[in-house]
Structure 1
Amino acid sequence: MSKELAINEEIRDKEVRLLSETGEQLGIVSIKEAQAMANSKNLDLVQISPNANPSVCKLMDYGKYKYEQSRKEKEAKKNQKTITVKEVRLRPGIETNDLNTKANNAIKFLKKGDKVKVELRFRGRELGHKDIGKEVMLKFIDIVKEFGEPAKAPKFEGNNMVVIIDPKK
């Protein structure tokens, strides 16, 4: 849990606004009186809002509360989907069969629900023929368009042309 709540003797206020275990307000009472109520019902006095004036305390079974919170966090973590970005590298002079192989790999990633970062790397004299690289990139996007669409148009980052392809829902 991210923040621990003050319970029972850890509460240092003189007066507190007390809530019953069902959530109904019992009014503002002294800390001793609140502690006595909690003891008589075999419950813990938990400070749920320390910044309020007077601070708000609730009668509850703290162990059960912590258990429920950990269960909720575990459930939320289980339902969370992590998105990974896979990378495919191309060159401007790539042959058709090699391009198809790279595209098939990208399609596998997209089918799994991963994003694909396509990086077309230019070296030396290839930088003078960016139009050829653009054609290769557009051909690649055309091959995988059935399984994913680019988030943005291809753009240059230094000597590379980069595009990120998101999987189709």
Structure 2
Amino acid sequence: MRIEDALRLAIDADMDLVEVAPEARPPVCKIMDYGKFKYEAAQKARESRRNQQQTVIKEQKLRPKIDDHDYETKKRNVERFLDSGNKVKVTIMFRGREQSRPELGFRLLQRLASDVAELGFIETNARQDGRNMTMVLAPHRGQKTRVKAQQTPTRAERDSAAASEPASETEAPQAG
């Protein structure tokens, strides 16, 4: 159909001529209310954004010659991050002569990964990049939904909690 004819039909129907598929050959147009079309497109975009998962990457920095107590503290932080459903980027910073011994950092990252294996897995293997060596740990699948389920009470729990609250008593007449 020619554009002029389509425009005339749209004007007669008191609607707009909207191009819905510009890449198609020939381009596809529809006669519709453009305001409603824009509103529905915005609703679809908002819905798709709501269904996206937001990934948060926490970072934990270590040194190759870390003391046992400090290592345990850093490991606890990594466990806490993984337990809450976040990814963790573990960075080992090398200084001076430490750069000639990258195997120390690699062993430390492997030790950390094996210590937190029940909470997460290695998403990106240890990789040297300048003075730093990095590795990314990710929580096991479904970890984030499990955390949300633990935090929000179920409907039955809320109902039982509401039923167990004492009802407000009526006020007794006051003696004057």
Q: Structure 2, unaligned stretches of length 5 or more?
A: 142-176
Question: How much has 1:62 moved relative to structure 2?
Answer: 1.3
Give a deviation string over 1:64-104, Cα, whole Å, max 9, x none: 11110011111111112222322111112212221121112
**2:47 matches 1:75:** yes
Alignment of 1:8-27 (within 5 A): 15-16=2-3
Structure 1 residues 35 and 113: alpha-carbon distance in aligned structure 2, compared to 1, 3 A threshold: same
Contact 1:115 1:166 in 2 (8 A): yes
Question: How much has 1:49 moved relative to structure 2?
Answer: 4.1
Q: Match for 1:107 among 68, 74, 79?
A: 79
Alignment of 1:1-169 (within 5 A): 15-16=2-3, 31=4, 33-50=5-22, 55-169=27-141
Normalized per residue, which structure has more helix?
2
Aligned length: 141
Normalized per residue, which structure has more strand?
1
Q: Distance in 2 between matches of 1:61 and 1:154?
A: 55
> Percent same amino acid at aligned positions?
38
Alpha-carbon RMSD: 2.4
- The farther-off stretch of 111-120 and 86-95 is 111-120
Structure 1 residues 60 and 162: alpha-carbon distance in aligned structure 2, compared to 1, 3 A threshold: same
Q: Distance in 1 between matches of 2:129 and 2:104?
A: 17
Question: Structure 2 length normalisation: TM-score?
Answer: 0.68
Q: Structure 1, unaligned stretches of length 5 or more?
A: 1-13, 17-30
Question: Structure 1 length normalisation: TM-score?
Answer: 0.70
Q: Distance in 1 between matches of 2:23 and 2:119?
A: 52
